[in-house]
Structure 1
């Protein structure tokens, strides 16, 4: 596995993208509206990303913003075999949010691990090739 991105909950993804793009000299690599969110990916030279998540309707990110406010929402790790990564997590006793891979932003398959099993960190496994 390798680091893929950090997901950041934002009230205004475009405004935050503008700030980070200028401050960190990193371009917007991808933008879309997906699953009730405006999603903006900023790409770093090493291939990692900031994923900015702005809710366009109610849902998990809107709930997170109401509860916690803007900030880091999750950390994503890329894998070439998402099913095997989930099996390994399950076999290690980690509670899964997603028992099976599901569609994610940018056409990727994703699955989340529950933070109660991962030291309070919401971990996303992502297969960027799907």
Structure 2
């Protein structure tokens, strides 16, 4: 596994993309609308990204998070070649799963989240390309 991306919640993806582009030489390489979110990926290097999450519809989980916590780091995504095995390992370790089964995420990748109460307070996502 390796860190695939860091998810950052924002109320202005354009402004944050411009800032990160300047600070980190991180160009925007992908953008889409997904589940009421504008999702923008900024490339940090080979297979490493910032994922900017901007709620564009009311009543999204990420929108509620933004209202409650404010902008900032939302999750850390780890790339795996076998998401089913990664989830099985998490289950065997007693970690609660937010997603019992993989689901489609941005770029059409399979994703699944682990509950932060069992991962030291960090929301962890598995992603399989």
Q: TM-score, normalised by structure 1?
A: 0.96
What is residue 15 of structure 2 aligned with on the other side? Answer: 15
Gaps of 5+ in 1: none
What is residue 61 of structure 1 aligned with on the other side? Answer: 62
CA RMSD of aligned residues (A): 0.7
* 1:34 positional shift: 0.8
* 1:24 positional shift: 1.1
Structure 2: how far apart are the matches of 1:71 and 1:55? Answer: 13
* 1:47 positional shift: 2.4
For residues 32-57 of structure 1, give each alpha carbon's deviation from its aligned partner in whole angstroms, at most 9, with x where no partner exists: 11110000000012421000000011
Instruction: Kindly indicate whether residue 93 of structure 2 is the aligned counterpart of residue 117 of structure 1.
Output: no
Q: Secondary structure at the match of 1:26?
A: coil
Structure 2: how far apart are the matches of 1:124 and 1:47? Answer: 15
Q: TM-score, normalised by structure 2?
A: 0.97
Task: Report 1:36-75 matches (<5 A).
Answer: 36-57=36-57, 58-75=59-76
For residues 36-87 of structure 1, give each alpha carbon's deviation from its aligned partner in whole angstroms, at most 9, with x where no partner exists: 0000000012421000000011211100001100000000000010011000
Give 4+ residue runs of structure 1 displaced > 4 Å after superposition: none
Matched residue count? 128
For residues 70-128 of structure 1, give each alpha carbon's deviation from its aligned partner in whole angstroms, at most 9, with x where no partner exists: 00000000001001100000000000000000010111110000000000000000001
Instruction: Kindly indicate whether residue 98 of structure 2 is the aligned counterpart of residue 97 of structure 1.
Output: yes
Which is further off, 14-23 or 119-128?
14-23
Which is further off, 71-80 or 21-30?
21-30
Gaps of 5+ in 2: none
